[in-house]
Amino acid sequence: MTVRTVVFDAYGTLYDVQSVGRLATELCGDKGELITQLWRLKQLEYTWLRGLMQTYEDFSVVTRDSLDFVLERVGVRSSTTIRDALLTKYLKLDLYPETLQALKALADYRLAILSNGSPAMLDSLVEASGVRSLFSQVISVDPVKTYKPDPRCYDLAAKSLGAVADEVLFVSSNGFDVAGAKRFGFRVAWVERGGGAPPPSSSAIGPTELFGLLRGGAERLGCGADARVASLTDLPRVLTDLAR
């Protein structure tokens, strides 16, 4: 079937989760980079753990709890100033530089977001970045009380949009999300945000390099992407190829 709808993941795909790094360094000195990377890793881990344990809390709670864990583990006292500033930044993450250009190039398609973010967090993101009008829907997983890659999340998007699964192109930079969406039945484009980096020459690597090794590759889960792109601006080509 012809793709009529393009659904985007938010965190790490449209919005740069690494954009908290500068503030983290300003507030926490040379531990800022470590905090940035561990926070995102622990945040993802908590979504999976809460999904498996069936103890759902919305993404604002997961984001707060994962930050508290990391600040304690790296030895940074979680003052109100540090904690609130970092959590506020997560509500106003930077768009990736090509995001606006890419979204405008897809104006002939129905565009939507499907995200782990809570409704309030997503409202803040799209308002702060000025992109709300470009999307027909901004969908949070909150109604199904679990997190991607649970199939119920992708089913929520399909039902909310009234879309047949293979008429949807799902776009994500997160390998687990790519696998989950493909397993559900969406067509999937993987944005290789961490792609192309050479293997390390030794174990002496920093937090950002470690994050890239863990999160930047295709997952071995038996459900690969239909297309791999380096940038969101490659999506029109992908859609043309899928229509053939």
Tell me what pLDDT residue 197 has: 73
Q: Which residues pair with 232 in a beta bridge?
A: none
Pair 119, 76 in one domain: no
Pair 55, 119 in one domain: no
> 49, 6, 7, 13: which is closest to 193 by C-alpha?
13
Query: Predicted confidence band at 198 (pLDDT cuts at 50, 70, 90)?
Result: confident
Measure the CA–CA gap between 159 and 62, rounded to whole angstroms. 26
Counted domains in the chain: 2
Lowest mean pLDDT among 62-71, 108-117, 152-161, 197-206: 197-206
Pair 72, 185 in one domain: no
Domain boundary among 42, 62, 90: 90
Per DSSP, 47 falls in state: H
Contact partners, residue 39, CB within 8 Å, separation at least 6 = 20, 24, 66, 67, 70, 86
Domain boundary among 61, 90, 119: 90
Question: Average pLDDT over the chain, rounded to whole?
Answer: 96
Pair 60, 80 in one domain: yes
Pair 10, 60 in one domain: no
Pair 155, 165 in one domain: yes
Q: Which residues pair with 228 in a beta bridge?
A: 190
Element (H, E) at 60: helix 59-74
> 14, 10, 38: which is closest to 117 by C-alpha?
10
Tell me what pLDDT residue 50 has: 98
Please say whether the beta carbons of 170 and 185 come within 8 A: no
**Would you call 30 a catalytic residue per the annotation?**
no
Residue listed under structure tokens 């309030």: 120
Residue listed under structure tokens 């790094």: 21
Supply the CATH number for residue 171's domain: 3.40.50.1000
Q: Considering the candidates 9, 16, 58, 150, report the single residue annotated as catalytic.
A: 9
Residue-wise burial string across 197-225, b where 16 or more C-beta atoms lie within 10 A, e elsewhere: eeeeeeeeeebeebbbeebbeebeeeeeb
> Residue 177 sits in which domain range?
5-16+93-243
Pair 122, 200 in one domain: yes
> 41, 21, 31: which is closest to 214 by C-alpha?
41
231's tokens: 């940038």
56's tokens: 């759902």
Pair 155, 196 in one domain: yes
Pair 134, 200 in one domain: yes
Question: For the whole model, what pTM was predicted?
Answer: 0.96
Domain boundary among 62, 90, 118: 90
Measure the CA–CA gap between 31 and 42, rounded to whole angstroms. 16
How much of the chain, in percent, has pLDDT values that exceed 70?
Answer: 98
Pair 64, 118 in one domain: no
Supply the CATH number for residue 41's domain: 1.10.150.240
Element (H, E) at 169: strand 168-172
Pair 84, 97 in one domain: no
Tell me what pLDDT residue 87 has: 97
pLDDT digits (tens, 9 = 90+) for 187-197: 999 999 876 67
Pair 231, 144 in one domain: yes
